[in-house]
Structure 1
Amino acid sequence: MPHFTTSGLSLAYEVHGAGAPVLCVHGFASSGKVNWIDTGWVETLTGAGYQAITLDNRGHGASDKPHDPELYYPSQMADDAIALLDHLGIGRAAVLGYSMGARIAAFMAFSHPERVAAAIFGGMGTNLINGLTDGNDIIAGLRAPDLSDLTRPTARQFRIFADHTGSDREALAACMETSRQPMARADVRRIEVPVLVAVGEADEMAGRPEALAELLPHGEAVLIPRRDHMRATGDKVFKSATLEFLGRTFPIAQES
């Protein structure tokens, strides 16, 4: 995988296809491959005529994995994503984020609106504002000596996922400490780019999509039927809603 350097960290990325660029920002404990390639998202986007750019966030995948919690605030990871666009010579892109990646996309849209043509917040509803209540359980699960020591479902779920992806669990624990920083309600109201908020009907981690969409000046909501936080990622309803939204807000004829 190619890498670029920003803020002293080497971060991995991949570029797929050609056309109007869509930057895909993965969720916590995932990677560009797991979140976007393995779920069919890259194939979906490139098949529709878009260029799909996947990034391994700091602490994840093939990117550097510092253990300092002070290096994982969402504003810092949003700056990483902007630095990747700079590295690729892309002026404006649509941003597709899932879970933590959606939080990063929100900070991008707030701080760099001239670079974000449209944004999709997958797996992130009102908890963008309220924060993640299960974060301490996840940290405890990542640092536990063994999976058998864990009883709380969320802690077990993320520990299993982290082990499945071969992650650096201490880097993830550091990331969870600060990456869940909420966005101020007043700042959400100042995000001027078009935003699609897509959350699974059975997702208990994200918060409701409709309430967040109502706060956004140009927000829309879609509820993904019968899907929880993990299983909504590659859902066909999520994909079709995203393509329809991009077709209106960032059509493939766009130049970056």
Structure 2
Amino acid sequence: MTRYTGFDGAEIAVVEIGPGSADARPIILLHGLFSSGEMNWRRYGAAAEIAGAGYRVIMPDFRAHGLSAAPHNAAAYPPDVLAMDIEALIAQLGLTDFDIAGYSMGARTLVRLLARGLKPGKAIISGMGLEGLIGGTQRADFFKKVVRQPDGWPSGSPEAFAAAFMKQNKVDTKAVGLLLDTFVSTPIEVLRGIETRCLVLCGVDDRDNGSAPALAMELPNAALVEIAGNHMSAVTKPDFGTAIAAWLGHPL
């Protein structure tokens, strides 16, 4: 693990795996809400699968997550803060030719990076649908409700599942509450103007962030792959990492 700094100097923890060769092609993997690089990308083998295909795999923990800083001051959470942190990380790493993938909140952040002008070679938007990107802050509002009230939800409800996941990962609720106010929607006209070659990858039963097929239809240069699972389980399936590695192919 190495520590870099976000847009304002906050510490961002980053883990890298992959070939030792200096010319290995980099790919940045962005995790989801209440999660970490370890949880989404390393624990179930996706990162190892991608590294095995010949990539230098770079996995930051977002601020307020994992081993990165979790500041409690509102000034540390401007709109699009996660995209700003990744832009700062890319600059510190000196990356100019690379690929990037994101799951759920990581996918939302990836799309914001593309909207802000990032030009990766390829992008993998996973665990995300059209409505989750253009639909205002409804998804953030759902999680704000859970952060404010982590107990007392009906067993089996979406709120109960989210609260249990939050507690399991020992989330700093003060920091994450501030982070949830930073989410920015991406207008459909902006999505239609994204030229980057994209893979939209989603569990066939995942509707948490809307329709993945609808998202793939709106992106002008996108392929769609659906695998078994829902929003919580698809990322744990062997097919998840296999699909990404296969679509990326071996780096030149």
Of residues 239, 242, 245 in structure 1, which corresponds to 2:241?
A: 239
Q: Is the 8 A contact 2:124 2:199 kept in 1?
A: yes
Distance, in Å, in 1 between the alignment partners of 2:47 and 2:79 is: 24
TM-score, structure 2 length as denominator? 0.89
Deviation at 1:188, TM superposition (A): 0.6
Q: How many residues align?
A: 245
Deviations 1:128-187 (A, max 9, x none): 11246343332222222x52x2238222112111111111012122222332x3211111
Deviation at 1:65, TM superposition (A): 1.1
Deviations 1:91-110 (A, max 9, x none): 12111100000011111222
Of residues 79, 84, 91 in structure 1, which corresponds to 2:89?
A: 84
Q: Is the 8 A contact 1:143 1:170 kept in 2?
A: no
Q: Give the equivalent residue in structure 2 for 1:35.
A: 40
| CA pair 40-77 structure 1, distance change in 2 beyond 3 A | same
* Structure 1: segments with no counterpart, 5+ residues: none
Q: Is the 8 A contact 1:16 1:53 kept in 2?
A: yes
* Structure 2: segments with no counterpart, 5+ residues: none
| CA pair 158-73 structure 1, distance change in 2 beyond 3 A | farther
Distance, in Å, in 2 between the alignment partners of 1:170 and 1:197 is: 32
| CA pair 161-169 structure 1, distance change in 2 beyond 3 A | same
Asked whether 1:57 is paired with 2:62, we answer: yes
Asked whether 1:123 is paired with 2:127, we answer: yes
Q: Give the equivalent residue in structure 2 for 1:111.
A: 116
Deviation at 1:36, TM superposition (A): 0.9
Deviations 1:51-100 (A, max 9, x none): 11000111111111133566446632112112212212221211110000
Of residues 159, 163, 166 in structure 2, which corresponds to 1:159?
A: 163
Asked whether 1:21 is paired with 2:17, we answer: no
Which piece of structure 1 moves more, 94-103 or 64-73?
Answer: 64-73
TM-score, structure 1 length as denominator? 0.88
Deviation at 1:239, TM superposition (A): 2.2
Q: Is the 8 A contact 1:142 1:155 kept in 2?
A: no
Asked whether 1:186 is paired with 2:193, we answer: no
Q: Give the equivalent residue in structure 2 for 1:224.
A: 227
Deviations 1:178-213 (A, max 9, x none): 32x321111111111011111111112121111111
Distance, in Å, in 1 between the alignment partners of 2:158 and 2:232 is: 11
Structural RMSD (CA): 2.0
Distance, in Å, in 2 between the alignment partners of 1:113 and 1:142 is: 31
Q: Give the equivalent residue in structure 2 for 1:10.
A: 11
Distance, in Å, in 1 between the alignment partners of 2:82 and 2:109 is: 6
| CA pair 210-73 structure 1, distance change in 2 beyond 3 A | farther
Distance, in Å, in 1 between the alignment partners of 2:27 and 2:82 is: 17
